[in-house]
Structure formats: C-alpha cells, structure tokens
Amino acid sequence: MTTSSPLPLIGVPTSTMQMPGSQFFTYTSGKRYISSLNEFSSCMAVQIPSLGEDYDYADLVNRFDGIMLTGGRANVEPHHYGGPPFPEDEAIDPDRDATVLRIVPACIEAGVPILGICRGLQEMNVALGGSLHYRVNEVPGKNDHRMPRGDDVTVDDIYALRHPVKLTEGGMFQDLIGESETMVNTLHGQGIDRLGDGLTIEAVSDDDIIEGIRIEGHPNFAAGVQWHTEFYPEREEHLLSRRLYEAFGKAAQERAQSR
C-alpha cells in the first residue's frame, strides 16, 4: 500500500483591518492570495495572526514548510528603514510590520521557503536593511505604478498587464520561463529604494524600479515580486507568476518530506 505525500503547510501572515462601521479589528488575508497559493503551489495554507512580539519566531517558522507574504493596503512604516514620517492619513499596520519583519530573518535562519508579493517584497527588503520610496510616482524619472481608479474600473482593468520587466541574465526568474522579459501588472505606491543586504535583483521595470528579488544566501526558495502573482496565474501570459508558485511549492514539498 502506498501513501501520498502530505501537502506542505504554508503560513500566511495576516493584515490587521478595522471592520467597516465598527470599533472591532480583524486579522485578514485576501481570498485570491490563498486560493492561488493552494492551487498552483499544491499546498495547504493557514493564516498566521500578526501578534508582533508575542511569538517565539524560531519555533513559529519551524512549524511551516513555507511562508507567503501577501500584499496589503497599509505600507511598511518608515521608521523601520530611516525614512521620513508618513502623512497623518497614511494607512499603517504596525502589528503586521512587527510580525513579518521578524518572520523573514527567522525563515532565513531556518531555511524555510519564502514567497513575497507586492508589500511582501517590500517587507523582505526592509527586513534585510533596505529602504523604500514612499511614492514611486513622485520620484523623478519614474512612472506611476498605482492601480487605475474610477467608478467604471473593473478587476480586469486593475490587474491587466501594464508594463514589461527585464529579467536578470542567468537569474532564477529567467531560468523559470526561458525568456529575458515578461509583462506584469502594477498597483503599488511604494517601491524599493536601497536594496537590502544579501538580496539579488531578478527583475527590473522599464523605468528601473526593482520588481523581483531573491535572497542570495537562503538555502532554499526565497523570492519576492512587486506585481500581484495571484491574478491570473492560470493564464499563459502570466507564465512567470505560475512558475514562481510552482517553484515555491516544490521547495515547500521538499521541506515537508524532510520534516
């Protein structure tokens, strides 16, 4: 009798959000992040409440076969990287900051695979000593990478392929699809300014914004992208997004088997 291998267990740190019209807060993750992860990484995802200092992070990450860092409405607060203070009306999520900025180094120490998406890429960069542009569209020579707005804007409009990224010659991303360039969606305000220690650039936009990174010294899969891989990895024109999920899932499966 043969038994199938158990699905790898992926932890997904949550965002903290106030429920509309109330004083109550919830820990949340977008449905599409979870569904795309489960399907294309062949895994089982569970949410990690963002509890900040209340975890033993070495113990926490060792319970998982991988960690996925999602996007989020709030931005990483600038005091984590020496940036100027946010305006008073800027959305923040200090609980998530305090959680994920501890999870990333713990994953590196334990060799736990990491996949970062949008804010997740920014968190990886800050956790490793890098900094962020507050608003990419306000940087001279850079394009507006924010999502389209308006009453008639659809989900397809928001997540449409909008600009090319050049993949690093001989890098992991290029190896995944065998191409030197691909198109991606874009809906982010912040972006990488100073690259964090130990990070390698895997993809750059046509206006020289870092769109893909890899942790060089990580013993397993550890990569982040500025675009949103959760839309639509099932389509052929989003091949790199799908291949990233598959590579992450393979690394997580290997860790699950070793555990």
Catalogue the active-site residues: 118, 228, 230
* Measured torsion, CA atoms of residues 210, 212, 215, 219, in degrees rounded to the nearest 10: -170
Token pair recorded at residue 16 = 């903290």
Kindly report whether the peptide bond that precedes residue 245 is cis, defined as omega within 30 degrees of 0.
no
Name residue 201's beta-bridge partners.
213
Q: Give DSSP secondary structure letters for 88-146.
A: TT--B-HHHHHHHHHHHHHHHHHT--EEEETHHHHHHHHHTT--EES-GGGSTT----S
CA distances from 148 to 120, 185, 190, 237 (A): 21, 11, 15, 20
Q: At what angle do helices 239-258 and 31-40 cross, to 10 degrees?
A: 70
**Cβ(241)–Cβ(233) under 8 Å?**
yes
Distance CA 107, CA 185 (A): 28
